[in-house]
Amino acid sequence: MRKKLKIKSAIAANRNTQFLAFVRKEFRHMFRDRKTLLILFGLPVVQILLFGFALTNEIKDSRIVICDYAKDEASRRIIERFAANNHFVVEESLKSHLQIEDAFQEGRIKLAVIFPANFLSDLHHLHQAQVQLIADASDPNTANILKGYATNILMDYQKELSMDSPLPYQIGSEMRMLYNPQLKGAVNFVPGVMSLILMLICVMMTSVSIVREKEYGTMEVLLVSPVNPLLLILSKAVPYLFLSLVNLTVIVVLSVTLLEVPVNGSLILLFLESTLFIITALSLGLLISNLVKTQQAAILFSLIGLMVPTILFTGFMFPIENMPVVLQWFANVIPSRWYYVIIKSVMIKGAGIQAVWKETVVLLLMTGFLLFISFRNFKTRLEA
Amino acid sequence: MKEIVIQVDELTKEFGHFVAVDKITFEVYKSEIFGFLGANGAGKTTAMRMLCGLSVPSSGNATVAGFDVYRQTEQIKKSIGYMSQKFSLYEDLTVAENIHLFGGIYGLTNRQMKEGRDRLVERLGLHNEMKKRVGALPMGWKQKLAFSLAILHRPRVVFLDEPTGGVDPITRRQFWDLIYEATEEGITVFVTTHYMDEAEYCDRISMMVDGKIEALDSPANLKRRFSASSMDEVFFQLARGAKRN
C-alpha cells in the first residue's frame, strides 16, 4: 500500500517537473521573440490611443449651416446655443434652403438646421413647433450622433422655456440616452478594444505556437515522449494567459487615466470575467491549431476568419439590434459579443454578477464545448 | 542466445481498404543497428509509428523493450528515444536549455541530468556553445545534438527516421560514429534511411516493398543473394517490382 502511494507520488512529482519544464520553455519562446512581444504589448496601447483619440466617434467641430425663416427670438436663442456648443461650428446662415444641397454636395457641412417661419408664434399658440434637421447620411454613424447632439440642444431650450409656463412647449422629438448622455465615444470603445485585443492575442498566439511545433517537427518528438498531451497544451496556455492579463491591466489603466472611462463595477469581477473570456479564446486557438497545418494558415484563419466577425458582430462598431435576424443569430456564436455585454455592464454600468450571469453561463458553455471538440480532435489525430 | 528487444509478429495496419503494413514479422536484437529500408510509401513510417506507440495496429502482435504495443504504450514511450527526419530541437532555446527541457520531459533527476549533460558536452565538444542558441549552430552539430538528446535518458531503443537528410558525407560519417558508440553502451538502434552507403553500416537490413518485408539479412548476405555489387543494386532490384508509386 505504502509502496503504491510512493509510486503514485513519484509519478505526480514527475508530472510536475515535466509541466514546469514546459512552462519555462513556453515563456522562453515568448520572451525570445522580441518583435512579436513588442507587437503584443504595443498593440493594446496603440489601439486604446487610436480608438480613444483619433478614431473616437465623439464628433467635435462639425460644420453646420442654419437656414432661419423665422428670425424671431426663439430661433435666435437656439442658434446661439448651436454656436456655443463645441460639437458644432456654425458655418454660415443661408437665405434659402435651396442652397443647402449644394453645401452638402461640396462636403462643407455635416448638418443643416432649418427653422420654419412662425416658429415662435407656433410655440406660443400651439405650444408645439418643428425644427427640421438634415444630416449627411452617407456617414450614418456620424449623422446619427450629430442628430443626437442637436436634439439635446433643442431639448435644453425647450426645458428652459417650459419652466416659467403652465403648459409645456414641445420642440422636435424626444430622445433619451441612458448611461452615456454626452455620447462619449470611449465608453463604447474601451470594452470593444478589450474584446478585440484579448481575442487577437489569445486565439492567434496559441494556434501559432502549437502549429509552429507541428511545422518544425518538434511536435512529433513530444508525442513520442511520455508527455501527457493535455499537459503540453496546458503549458502553452499559461504564458498567454499571463500576457493577456498584463495587457488587460494596461488597457484598464489607460482607459481610467487617459480616457476618463472609470471602472464603476467590481475590479475583481472584471478580471474574473476576463479570465473566463481569455480561456474561451485560448480554447478557440487550440481548435484552430488542430485544423491547420502551417503558421501562415493559423494567422490567416485567426485574422480573417475571426477578427473580421469579431469586429463586425461584437456590437461596439455596429449595434447588433439593428441587424437582420439571421445575422443576429450569427452574432450569438461570437464569444466576444457576450464578453462585450459583460464588460460594458460591469465596467460602465457598475453591475454585479446577478446582471451578467446569463452571459457568463454562455461563455462557460462555449468554452466547455470548444475544449471538448479540440481534445477529441487532438486524440483522433494522434491515432491516425 | 541474443536478447530480443523488438519482436514483431504479423503486424498489420489498414486504413479502410488500403493495407499500409501487411503482416510484417521480424526481431531486433540488443545493441544491434537495424536498418529499415524501402521506397517512399512502402509503409516504413506507419510501421515505425506503431512501434513507437503512436498508432494502434489493426492486427498482429509486437513488443518493444518487452512492452506490448496495444496496452503498454506509456511504458514504451519511456523506454525509447526518437529522432525525426526534420530537425527537431528548439532553435530559439540555447543548447543548455534544450538539454534541460528533454531531461524534464523524461523526468531525469538532477544528478542524471548533470551526468547526461556532461557526457554529451564531452562527446560533442560543445563546451563553449552551451549558452548559444541552437539555431546558431552549424547543421552537422545540430544533427548530432538531436541524436544525443534522443538518447539522453538512456533508452533501450532509439528510433531514427531518416536522421541524416541534408547532411554532408563527412558529418554523416561522424554521426554514425555516435551511433556506434551508442550501441556499445547497449542501446539498440532502429534506423530508416534513403542513403545506401548508410545501409552498409547497419548490422541487418530489412527491405520493405508495398507494405511487406521482401528481404531481411546482413548487407553482405543480401548482396550475395542478389549477386549485386552494392546495396544500391539490391534496393533497385527489390523496389522495381513495387506497385505503389
Grouped pLDDT means (10 residues each) for chain B, 245 residues: 89 90 93 89 87 89 92 89 82 90 87 88 86 87 89 92 81 89 93 84 90 90 88 83 67
Does some domain include residue B160?
A: yes
Q: With CB atoms and an 8 Å threshold, state whether B105 touches A225.
A: yes
Residue pointed to by grid coordinates 549552430? B137
Residues of A in contact with B50 (CB under 8 A): none
Q: Domain for residue B244, yes or no? A: no
β-partners of residue A115 are A68
Q: Give the residue carrying C-alpha cell 509486437.
A: B62
B15-57 pLDDT tens trace: 888 999 999 999 999 999 999 988 878 888 889 989 988 888 9
Distance from CA of A259 to the nearest CA of B (A): 39
The set of residues, in sequence order, having a beta carbon less than 8 Å from that of A274 and lying 6+ positions away, is A194, A198, A244, A245, A248, A339, A343
C-alpha cell at A62: 462639425
**Cα–Cα distances in Å, from A203 out to A45, A288, A298?**
19, 8, 9
**pLDDT interval class at A123 (50, 70, 90):** confident
H or E element, residue A113: strand A111-115
Over residues A343-352, the pLDDT tens digits come to 888 887 777 8
In CATH, what is the architecture of A62-171? 3-Layer(aba) Sandwich (3.40)
Locate the DSSP E strands across B41-185. 59-64, 67-68, 80-83, 157-161
Test mutation, B49, B88, B112, B131, chain A, max A CBs within 10 A: B88
Phi-psi region of A217 (alpha: psi -120 to 50; beta: other; left: phi over 0): left
A14, A24, A32 ranked by CB distance to B107: nearest: A14
Residue B43, classed as helix, strand or coil, is coil
Looking at beta carbons, which residues of chain A come within 8 Å of B100? Answer: 21
Task: State how far the Cα of A278 lies from the Cα of A240, in Å rounded to an integer.
Answer: 9
Q: What is the pLDDT of residue A32?
A: 83
Q: Give Cα separations from B224 to A229, B27, B219, B229, B230 (angstroms).
A: 47, 22, 9, 8, 10
Minimal-distance CA residue of chain B relative to A218: B88
The grid coordinates listed for A255 are 482607459
A173 has a pLDDT exceeding 60 = no
Whole domain around residue B227: which residue ranges? 4-239
Q: Do B93 and A20 touch (CB under 8 A)?
A: no
Q: How many domains is chain B built from?
A: 1
Q: Which of B63, B76, B15 is nearest to B211 (CA)?
A: B15
* Phi–psi pair at A90, nearest 5 degrees: -80, 110
B112 neighbors B103 (Cβ within 8 angstroms): yes
Name the phi and psi angles at A67, rounded to 5: -120, 105
Q: What is the pLDDT of residues A233-282, one digit of tens each?
A: 888 888 888 988 998 998 889 888 887 778 888 899 999 999 999 999 98
Domain boundaries, chain A: 17-54+184-383, 62-171
Nearest CA in chain A to B133: A32
For A116, which DSSP code? P
DSSP one-letter string for A309-353: HHHHHSSSSS-GGGS-HHHHHHHTT-HHHHHHHHHIIIIIS---H
Kindly report which listed range (A124-138, A181-195, B175-189) carries the lowest average pLDDT score: A181-195
Q: Mutating which of A221, A235, A294, A382 best tests the B interface, going by the most B Cβ atoms within 10 A? A: A221
* Cell numbers linked to B223: 548482396
Interface check B159 vs A, CB under 8 A: yes
C-alpha of B36 from chain center: 8
CB contact under 8 A, B97 and A223: no
Asked if residue A123 lies in contact with residue A74, where contact means CB atoms within 8 angstroms, the answer is yes
> How close does chain A come to B205, measured CA to CA in Å?
24
Residue A3 has pLDDT above 70, yes or no: no
Pick the closest to residue A367 from A205, A237, A196, A213 (CA basis).
A237
One-character DSSP codes across A162-192: HHT-SSPPEES-----SS-TT--SHHHHHHH
Q: What is the mean pLDDT of chain A?
A: 79
Please check the confidence at residue A176 and state whether its pLDDT lies above 50.
no
pLDDT tens-digit readout, A192-245:
888 888 888 888 888 888 888 888 878 888 888 888 777 888 888 888 889 889
User: Are A217 and B159 an interchain contact pair (Cβ–Cβ within 8 Å)?
Assistant: no
The C-alpha atoms of residue B26 and residue B9 are separated, in whole angstroms, by: 7
Strand partners, B189: B33, B158
pLDDT band at residue A117 under the 50/70/90 scheme: confident
Closest by Cβ to B82, choosing from A18, A22, A221: A221
Alpha-carbon gap, residue A330 to A325, rounded angstroms: 9
Is the pLDDT at A57 greater than 80, yes or no?
no
Q: Which of A17, A32, A220 sits opposite B88 (nearest CB)?
A: A220
> In the numeric block, which cell numbers belong to residue A25?
520553455
Tell the residue number behind the cell numbers 436663442, with chain if given. Answer: A77
User: Looking at residue B123, which CATH number applies to its domain?
Assistant: 3.40.50.300
Q: β-strand B157-161 against B33-38: which pairing, if any?
A: unpaired
A12 or B67, which is more confident? Answer: B67
Q: Which residues of A touch B84 (CB under 8 A)?
A: 217, 220-221
Q: Which residue has the cell 425647450?
A: A158
Q: How confident is the model at residue A2 (pLDDT cuts 50, 70, 90)?
A: low
The CB-side HSE value for B119 (13 A sphere, CA atoms) comes to 16
| Rg of chain A taking only CA atoms, in angstroms | 28
Instruction: Check residue A174 and give its pLDDT.
Output: 42
Residue type, A133: L
Q: What is the pLDDT of residue A272?
A: 93
R_g over Cα of chain B: 18
Q: Does residue A115 carry a pLDDT above 90?
A: no
What whole-number percentage of chain A has pLDDT above 70? Answer: 83
In a domain, B245, yes or no: no
Which residue, among A279, A254, A275, has the nearest Cα to A343 in the 3D structure?
A275
CA distance B104 to B110: 9
Round to whole Å and give the CA distance between A380 and B9: 25
Collect all residues of chain B within an 8 Å Cβ-Cβ radius of residue A17.
Answer: 104, 107
Whether residue A21 and residue B74 make contact (CB cut-off 8 A), yes or no, is: no
Query: Cβ–Cβ of B93/A32 closer than 8 Å?
Result: yes
Percentage of chain A surpassing pLDDT 90?
7
pLDDT of residue A369: 94
Strand partners, A111: A64, A135
Q: What is the pLDDT of residue A178?
A: 40
Best of B48, B70, B73, B105 to substitute, by most chain A Cβ atoms within 10 angstroms, is: B105
* pLDDT at residue number A175: 40
Sign of CA dihedral B209, B215, B221, B227: negative
Judge whether residue A384 has pLDDT over 50: no
Indicate the helix (H) or strand (E) that contains B203: none
**pLDDT value at residue A177:** 40
* Window 84-113 of B, Cβ < 8 Å to A: 84-93, 97, 100-101, 103-107
A vs B, Cβ pairs < 8 A, gives 75
Q: Do A218 and B77 count as a contact with CB atoms less than 8 A apart?
A: no
Q: How far apart are CA B153 and CA B172, in angstroms?
A: 23
Which positions in chain A have a beta carbon within 8 angstroms of at least one beta carbon in chain B?
14, 17-18, 20-22, 24-25, 28-29, 32-33, 216-218, 220-227, 382-384
* DSSP single-letter state for residue A51: I
Inter-residue contact B191 to B36 (CB < 8 Å): yes
Q: Cβ distance A374 to A230 under 8 Å?
A: no
**Cβ–Cβ of A20/B52 closer than 8 Å?**
no
Partner-chain contact A224 B88, CB within 8 Å: no
In the prediction, which pLDDT does A114 show? 85
In DSSP terms, which residues pair with B204 in a beta bridge? Answer: B34
Grid coordinates representing A194 are 478589450
Q: What is the pLDDT of residues A360-383, one digit of tens each?
A: 999 999 999 998 888 887 765 555
| Cβ atoms of B83 and B159 closer than 8 Å | yes
A293-327: pLDDT as tens digits: 888 888 888 877 788 888 888 877 777 776 788 88
Which H or E element spans position A64? strand A62-68
**According to the model, what pLDDT value does residue B34 have?**
95
In a 3-state reduction of DSSP, which class is residue B130? coil
Q: Which of B77, B105, B159 is closest, CB to CB, to A18?
A: B105
The answer to whether the CB atoms of B90 and A29 lie below 8 A apart is: yes
Contact check, Cβ <8 Å, A220/B92: no
